[in-house]
Structure 1
Amino acid sequence: MLSEGVMSPALLDDWEASVLHYGYRTRDTPSPRLVADLTAELADLRLAMGRHRSASALPRLALAAACMSGMVCLTLIKAGDRQAWRRWGRTARHAATEAADGPALAWTTAQEAYGYYYAGDMPGAVACARSALGATRAPSVGRALAAALEMRAHAAMGDSRAAMQALSTAEQTHERLSGAALAASAFGYAESQLRFHAGDALTQLGDTAEARTELDRALELCSPDDYTDWALIRLDQAACVVRDGDADAGIGYAASTLLSLDGAKRQGIITTRARDLLAGLTPAQQASRAAREFGGLLGDTTGTKETPA
């Protein structure tokens, strides 16, 4: 309990356990529900920090705030809320700085980098990713995430050499991770994520043969419950099929991917990626029945925008 400005070690442990719990929930919980739960937890955490003055416990509370705010940022990025993720990203980064935790600062800054990437600001994504890499030299999930994001941003800009250099950094960092740092959690960087990110970069660079190898392995390792990565992997596979000359088959595979998700889970970056796939077709391919039906399916995903409750 809280009294006279003192927080028990058990309550501090409870906050840290709650952070880890939410880290796993980011993989399978629709964005509106997760943002609502996280923001409610953060309101309680701010109250606790306001009442507590212990110099030994405040860094742990600040770290919990950084992690929870970073998860809100991550969730809003997935939902496609381009204004809100910036505010939460800044809050997470400031809390990590207050906690004086280099790996946490790398992780929170990497979340911001993903926001720039999915907003289409590739130079901004690269700059932010490099800032995350500079936050700590020790192997960490934040460094792995940042290097992989830098790779994807360079690939989106067509810079194959820079993309492969960043991939090397991501792979080297990943090799030095262990235990919970490899878990399928917001605070882990599993092999499925590394293979997905490499495959995504290769898809953007047009190297479909290598991309297929990476994406096949990613899908093999990724649980369908981890629905965002699972769907994006499949959409990249669909893009490879389209690039290799069978647009109808690729679009059909993309459609089956969307149809496997309910409306709340389709929203945000999944729908955006699917629209990019459709927009990349030639006029003749867009005139096909499969493409027209896919366009209709995408129109059905434009309901309520995912924003905090």
Structure 2
Amino acid sequence: MSTFGTEMRALMAEQSLSLRKLARDVHYTDGYLSRISRDVRIPSADVAQAVDAALKAGGRLIALAQAAQDSADQAGSVEGEEHPTREDDDEMHRRRLLQALATLGAASSPAADALQQIRGGVDRAIGRDEGSHLEEWEETVAEYGYSYLLLPPHRLLRDLAADLVIVQQAASRHAGGRLYPAWCRVTSGLSMLMAKSLCNAGQSRLAREWWSTAQHAALTSGDIDLSLWVTGERLVHGLYEQRPTAILLRRADEALAHSTGAPGRGMAQVRTVRAQLFALQGDVTAAAAELRASETVLQRLPGSVTRDVRSVAGWAEDRIRYTEAWVHAHTGDRDRLDAAVERARQVLPADDPRVRAQLSLLRAAGHVRAGDATEGVRHAHTVYEAQPADHRTAMVTSLARQVMDAVPEAGRSEPVVAAYGELLAAGAPRSIT
């Protein structure tokens, strides 16, 4: 009588198909497929369906897998029967991850897979375990911090996705172990960068779960400042997505209430967001108080953080000056706005592709609110039109739209304003598809 395994091997022989090639087609390991081809394990319905489709079996393998499962169910827990195990779950999860990467165009090549397996074997032979890779992964997170500020978001998404697959597998192998918190810290950093990149690509809904993953991983790692930093970054993007100010302020208050009060980039980030939120509410006094609190935190941060203006992981003077510009742009103090913008530009790298544009758009919006609508809109038009399409991120576009929103209704029909509106309509952030 034919079994799933014998039929599978026969079809593979007819098609001169190796286990390794089949494994690449169905996204299961060749070792796992070897076991089901020898009837050592009964394949699940999903596995049977995938193999049946790859071998063009016309449903025969699906039927044989179901028959084998029915027979095992009737016999009960007899010798030789194997129930789904953690290994089965891992294989299913691995397959789904690889399919997701393939959708993003980030699936690794057979040659890369082979090299990875060889490298793993060499590491084991010389006694190098995964713990020794942690420092390299922490450096990888740091490198992404620099890339985030320079590269368009869609360029980062695929690499982040591929790295998150590897880190997820490493973290799962160390669950409950001594190194687990460190792996969670790496997971949090990569997940936060994924969330930020998705937000910048205009995919805030997709980013929500990544924010939650980053926050959970940070809390699991025990790194309080990392948790506060994730919260602060999420609040920043919520600000540009125009989420309700009251809700964002409540979340900021809750984050501060659960913090230790120690100075850190997370504390500084939440403080500056509060200043921006108070400015949106028109509370100039509270916004100024938060700016002063942010300055105090900045002065207490280590130089390794405050000097790193080229990384999203750094927290240098430009962050304070940017927040000052935001506050003055929304409170109508044009002179202080211009001074804050100039001070921020002096700190920022000359090759910064986005923050300089954001500062110019903040200045334009502030000038419109101060009554100079024509010049403000004209300046915003020049800045946004010159911005490369790949760097017209959701944050840049949000600020560009704030300029238009600040124009009084009576001035919306002016030719310069109408032309700017047309430019905005054609300048949405790039999709990840």
Of structures 1 and 2, the one scoring higher in RCO (CA 8 A, sep 6+) is: 1
Alpha carbons of structure 1 residues 131 and 224: separation in structure 2 relative to 1, 3 Å: farther
Deviation at 1:213, TM superposition (A): 1.3
Deviation at 1:80, TM superposition (A): 3.1
Percent identity reads: 27
2:3 matched to which residue of 1?
none
Q: Does 1:171 align with 2:290?
A: no
Q: Does 1:138 align with 2:259?
A: no
Deviation at 1:56, TM superposition (A): 2.8
Alpha carbons of structure 1 residues 136 and 230: separation in structure 2 relative to 1, 3 Å: farther
Tell me the alpha carbon deviations over residues 46-98 of structure 1, each in whole angstroms, 9 at most, x when there is no partner.
01112235733221111000111111122223333221222111101100111
1:40 matched to which residue of 2?
162
2:314 matched to which residue of 1?
188
Q: Does 1:204 align with 2:322?
A: no
RMSD between aligned residues: 2.2
Map of 1:76-225 to 2, 5 A cutoff? 76-120=198-242, 121-133=244-256, 134-182=258-306, 183-184=308-309, 185-225=311-351
1:241 matched to which residue of 2?
367
Q: Give the whole-Å Cα distance in 2 for the aligned partners of 1:176 and 1:153.
A: 24
- Contact 2:330 2:369 (8 Å CA) reproduced: no
Q: Give the whole-Å Cα distance in 1 for the aligned partners of 2:252 and 2:352.
A: 24
Question: Structure 2 unaligned runs (5+)?
Answer: 1-119
Alpha carbons of structure 1 residues 279 and 8: separation in structure 2 relative to 1, 3 Å: closer
Q: Give the whole-Å Cα distance in 2 for the aligned partners of 1:298 and 1:119.
A: 16
Alpha carbons of structure 1 residues 125 and 226: separation in structure 2 relative to 1, 3 Å: farther
Tell me the alpha carbon deviations over residues 180-207 of structure 1, each in whole angstroms, 9 at most, x when there is no partner.
3121212111111210111101211222
Map of 1:250-265 to 2, 5 A cutoff? 250-265=376-391
- Contact 1:31 1:306 (8 Å CA) reproduced: no
Deviation at 1:305, TM superposition (A): 4.2
Number of matched pairs: 307
The structure with the largest alpha-carbon Rg is: 2
Please report the TM-score for the alignment, with normalisation by the length of structure 2.
Answer: 0.66
Q: Give the whole-Å Cα distance in 1 for the aligned partners of 2:153 and 2:268.
A: 24
- Contact 1:93 1:108 (8 Å CA) reproduced: yes
Alpha carbons of structure 1 residues 100 and 236: separation in structure 2 relative to 1, 3 Å: same
1:229 matched to which residue of 2?
355
* SS class of match (1:83): helix
* SS class of match (1:108): helix
- Aligned amino acid, residue 222 of structure 1: L
- Contact 1:69 1:89 (8 Å CA) reproduced: yes
- Contact 1:116 1:124 (8 Å CA) reproduced: no
Alpha carbons of structure 1 residues 219 and 36: separation in structure 2 relative to 1, 3 Å: same
Tell me the alpha carbon deviations over residues 17-73 of structure 1, each in whole angstroms, 9 at most, x when there is no partner.
101000111111111111222122111100111223573322111100011111112
* SS class of match (1:301): coil
Please report the TM-score for the alignment, with normalisation by the length of structure 1.
Answer: 0.91
Q: Does 1:72 align with 2:197?
A: no
Q: Give the whole-Å Cα distance in 1 for the aligned partners of 2:129 and 2:387.
A: 43
- Aligned amino acid, residue 193 of structure 2: M
- Point out the more displaced range, 56-65 or 236-245: 236-245
Tell me the alpha carbon deviations over residues 134-167 of structure 1, each in whole angstroms, 9 at most, x when there is no partner.
3332111111011000110111111122212211
- Contact 1:92 1:108 (8 Å CA) reproduced: yes
Q: Give the whole-Å Cα distance in 1 for the aligned partners of 2:202 and 2:279.
A: 21
What is the aligned counterpart of 1:267 among 373, 388, 393?
Answer: 393
Alpha carbons of structure 1 residues 181 and 151: separation in structure 2 relative to 1, 3 Å: same
